[in-house]
Amino acid sequence: MAVEPATRLVRPLQIGKHAIWPPVVLAPMSGVTNRTMRALYKPFGFGLTVTEFVSSNALQYQSQRTMEMIDQHGLEQPVSTQLWGNDPAIMALAARTVRECGADIVDINFGCPAPKVTKTAGGSACLRDVDRCEAIMRAVLDAVDCPVTIKMRLGWTEHDLVYLEVARRAEAVGISAITLHARTAKQFYRGTADWSHIAALKRAVSIPIIGNGDLHDAPTALARMQESGVDGVMIGRAVLGNPWIASDLHALLEGRIPAGYPAPAVRLRYALHHYETMVSELGETRAVPQMRKHLGYYLKGFPGASELRERLMRTLTAAETMGLVQATIDRLS
């Protein structure tokens, strides 16, 4: 049954014509948020999913791997495709390509701190040149007929916090929403995300703001939303092996009691479903190594999990892997 808007604690997240409910976004994660995972996790309570972040340079060559990164399942709309790069013209061409391939929203990556991205002046390294950030935003906006958003960090270092300046320029040129991860690029994922900066950003501009960083569970995410006044939240690492965090937050936002983290056997049954789906869509050769990391995320918080994880890291076939997981489910049940 549909929940009446009057019972909701916040409004839908409005990005262009897209009214996103719940205002919970699955973060782009390299090698993780492929189309299979996005389709599997969206029903848990993600109003918006974002592709793996894609190199604008790589899109020029349209390799199979690159095109798979922007591919959609057909079940996860609206979909935001995230691009990274440092050349405004190439970013514009990439934006036009992903839009033609079905992106509902184009997101510009000014946030990734990974060396493979920043060494080419992409991702969070763009924040060292605010004028270049603006040039990229203008070029992408001119190239597509859909909403354009950005994701960024506070700045390159703690001594050069440029997020407010970038945000004001983003609003002025027509960016539809901003996601802020409340760390600097140099912090990587160390320390604690400082949500006071996210609250400051919300006060500084009138376009929607999405907060990101250290949202370990649904109550924390709700508290951060209420304290900062943001229009939505983006959840990344905390969702790995735990899509139920989105279900719980969805419930809280609609005034319902969350179901909470399920029992180990329930989690492993879903891990098997995830595994089987990956094998059916990608084939065993590709799915088995990719799913090792996912199974590691699902294997948390029950006796024997470490030993099972070690055994699963050495399996070579889907049948062997699923047999070990099923045996564990039988034992736990």
| Residue 218: closest CA among 20, 22, 2 | 22
- Active site annotation includes 126: no
| Residue 124: closest CA among 71, 179, 176 | 179
Q: What is the pTM of this model?
A: 0.94
pLDDT digits (tens, 9 = 90+) for 283-315: 999 898 888 889 989 988 777 888 888 998 888
Going by pLDDT thresholds of 50, 70 and 90, the confidence category of residue 106 is: very high
Going by pLDDT thresholds of 50, 70 and 90, the confidence category of residue 244 is: very high
117 vs 3, which has greater pLDDT? 117
Residue 158 has which token pair? 């703690």
pLDDT given for residue 6 in this prediction: 63
Asked if the peptide bond before residue 43 counts as cis, ω within 30 degrees of 0, the response is no
pLDDT given for residue 2 in this prediction: 57
> What is the residue-wise DSSP string for 37-105?
HHHHHGGGT-SEEEPPPEEHHHHTTT-HHHHHHT---SSS-SEEEEEE-S-HHHHHHHHHHHHHTT-SE
Going by pLDDT thresholds of 50, 70 and 90, the confidence category of residue 147 is: very high
Q: H or E segment at 188? A: none
Q: How far is CA 164 from CA 106, 140, 154, in A?
A: 21, 20, 8
Going by pLDDT thresholds of 50, 70 and 90, the confidence category of residue 65 is: confident
Domains and CATH numbers, the chain: 5-253 (3.20.20.70), 264-332 (1.10.1200)
pLDDT given for residue 87 in this prediction: 97
pLDDT digits (tens, 9 = 90+) for 10-28: 999 999 999 999 999 999 9
Find how far residue 145's CA is from the centre of its chain.
23
The neighbour count for residue 263, using CB atoms within 10 Å, is: 13
pLDDT digits (tens, 9 = 90+) for 122-143: 999 999 999 999 999 999 999 9
Q: Choosing from 112, 126, 133, 146, which is the catalytic residue?
A: 112
Owner of token pair 């036009």: 96
Residue 326 has which token pair? 């099923």
